[in-house]
Protein backbone atom coordinates (compact mmCIF):
# COMPACT_ATOMS: atom_id res chain seq x y z
CA UNK A 1 0.00 0.00 0.00
CA UNK A 2 2.81 2.42 0.88
CA UNK A 3 4.55 1.68 -2.43
CA UNK A 4 1.36 2.43 -4.33
CA UNK A 5 0.85 5.75 -2.55
CA UNK A 6 4.49 6.68 -3.08
CA UNK A 7 4.26 5.80 -6.76
CA UNK A 8 1.04 7.78 -7.13
CA UNK A 9 2.58 10.81 -5.41
CA UNK A 10 5.66 10.61 -7.62
CA UNK A 11 3.52 10.34 -10.73
CA UNK A 12 1.38 13.35 -9.80
CA UNK A 13 4.39 15.51 -8.91
CA UNK A 14 6.06 14.61 -12.21
CA UNK A 15 2.96 15.64 -14.15
CA UNK A 16 2.68 18.90 -12.22
CA UNK A 17 6.31 19.74 -12.91
CA UNK A 18 5.78 19.14 -16.63
CA UNK A 19 2.81 21.52 -16.64
CA UNK A 20 4.88 24.14 -14.82
CA UNK A 21 7.42 24.13 -17.66
CA UNK A 22 4.88 24.98 -20.35
CA UNK A 23 4.48 28.74 -20.74
CA UNK A 24 0.87 29.80 -20.40
CA UNK A 25 1.28 33.49 -21.18
CA UNK A 26 3.44 35.79 -23.27
CA UNK A 27 7.01 35.74 -21.98
CA UNK A 28 7.93 39.20 -23.29
CA UNK A 29 7.25 41.70 -20.52
CA UNK A 30 8.19 44.87 -22.41
CA UNK A 31 5.61 47.40 -23.51
CA UNK A 32 5.37 48.69 -27.07
CA UNK A 33 7.10 51.92 -25.94
CA UNK A 34 9.93 49.98 -24.32
CA UNK A 35 10.35 47.91 -27.47
CA UNK A 36 10.57 51.14 -29.48
CA UNK A 37 13.30 52.43 -27.18
CA UNK A 38 15.59 49.42 -27.73
CA UNK A 39 15.59 49.65 -31.50
CA UNK A 40 18.80 50.33 -33.43
CA UNK A 41 17.33 53.57 -34.81
CA UNK A 42 16.17 56.77 -33.11
CA UNK A 43 12.71 57.12 -31.60
CA UNK A 44 11.93 59.77 -34.25
CA UNK A 45 13.03 57.52 -37.11
CA UNK A 46 10.27 56.82 -39.68
CA UNK A 47 10.65 53.07 -39.10
CA UNK A 48 9.47 53.41 -35.51
CA UNK A 49 5.81 53.39 -36.52
CA UNK A 50 6.31 50.17 -38.44
CA UNK A 51 8.25 48.75 -35.47
CA UNK A 52 5.32 49.52 -33.19
CA UNK A 53 2.90 47.89 -35.63
CA UNK A 54 5.03 44.75 -35.93
CA UNK A 55 5.41 44.45 -32.14
CA UNK A 56 1.69 44.95 -31.69
CA UNK A 57 0.92 42.29 -34.30
CA UNK A 58 3.31 39.84 -32.63
CA UNK A 59 1.70 40.47 -29.22
CA UNK A 60 -1.78 39.93 -30.68
CA UNK A 61 -0.85 36.69 -32.41
CA UNK A 62 1.10 35.36 -29.43
CA UNK A 63 -1.89 36.02 -27.17
CA UNK A 64 -4.08 34.02 -29.54
CA UNK A 65 -1.55 31.16 -29.66
CA UNK A 66 -1.24 30.98 -25.87
CA UNK A 67 -5.04 31.07 -25.50
CA UNK A 68 -5.42 28.15 -27.91
CA UNK A 69 -2.61 26.18 -26.27
CA UNK A 70 -4.07 26.76 -22.81
CA UNK A 71 -7.43 25.48 -24.07
CA UNK A 72 -5.75 22.43 -25.59
CA UNK A 73 -6.92 23.47 -29.05
CA UNK A 74 -4.18 23.00 -31.61
CA UNK A 75 -6.53 23.12 -34.60
CA UNK A 76 -6.47 26.90 -34.96
CA UNK A 77 -2.76 27.46 -34.44
CA UNK A 78 -1.59 27.39 -38.05
CA UNK A 79 -2.92 30.79 -39.11
CA UNK A 80 -1.50 32.47 -36.00
CA UNK A 81 1.89 30.81 -36.40
CA UNK A 82 2.01 31.92 -40.03
CA UNK A 83 1.11 35.49 -39.02
CA UNK A 84 3.89 35.49 -36.42
CA UNK A 85 6.36 34.28 -39.04
CA UNK A 86 5.28 37.05 -41.41
CA UNK A 87 5.79 39.61 -38.63
CA UNK A 88 9.23 38.22 -37.81
CA UNK A 89 10.15 38.35 -41.51
CA UNK A 90 9.00 41.99 -41.62
CA UNK A 91 11.05 42.74 -38.50
CA UNK A 92 14.16 41.23 -40.09
CA UNK A 93 13.60 43.19 -43.28
CA UNK A 94 13.20 46.40 -41.29
CA UNK A 95 16.27 45.74 -39.15
CA UNK A 96 14.15 45.66 -36.02
CA UNK A 97 15.43 44.24 -32.75
CA UNK A 98 12.86 41.58 -31.89
CA UNK A 99 15.01 39.61 -29.42
CA UNK A 100 12.59 40.39 -26.59
CA UNK A 101 10.23 37.84 -28.15
CA UNK A 102 12.86 35.07 -28.29
CA UNK A 103 11.43 32.98 -25.43
CA UNK A 104 8.00 33.12 -27.07
CA UNK A 105 9.42 32.27 -30.49
CA UNK A 106 11.32 29.35 -28.98
CA UNK A 107 8.08 28.10 -27.45
CA UNK A 108 6.10 28.30 -30.67
CA UNK A 109 8.91 26.44 -32.45
CA UNK A 110 8.02 23.47 -30.25
CA UNK A 111 4.46 23.62 -31.58
CA UNK A 112 5.46 23.10 -35.22
What is the pLDDT tens value at each position of the chain, 112 positions in all?
555 544 444 445 444 444 445 668 999 999 999 999 999 988 788 899 999 999 999 999 999 999 999 998 888 899 999 999 999 999 999 999 999 999 999 999 988 6
pTM over 0.85: no
Give the separation between CA 85 and CA 52, rounded to whole angstroms.
Answer: 16
Give the separation between CA 25 and CA 66, rounded to whole angstroms.
Answer: 6
Give the separation between CA 28 and CA 56, rounded to whole angstroms.
Answer: 12
Give the CA distances from residue 4 to residues 9, 12, 13, 15, 48, in Å, rounded to whole numbers and listed in that order. Answer: 9, 12, 14, 17, 60
CB atoms within 10 A of CB 84: 21
Amino acid sequence: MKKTLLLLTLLISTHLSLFAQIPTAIQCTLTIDQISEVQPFNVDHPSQEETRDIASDIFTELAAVYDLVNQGNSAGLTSHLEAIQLSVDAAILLGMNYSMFQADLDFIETLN
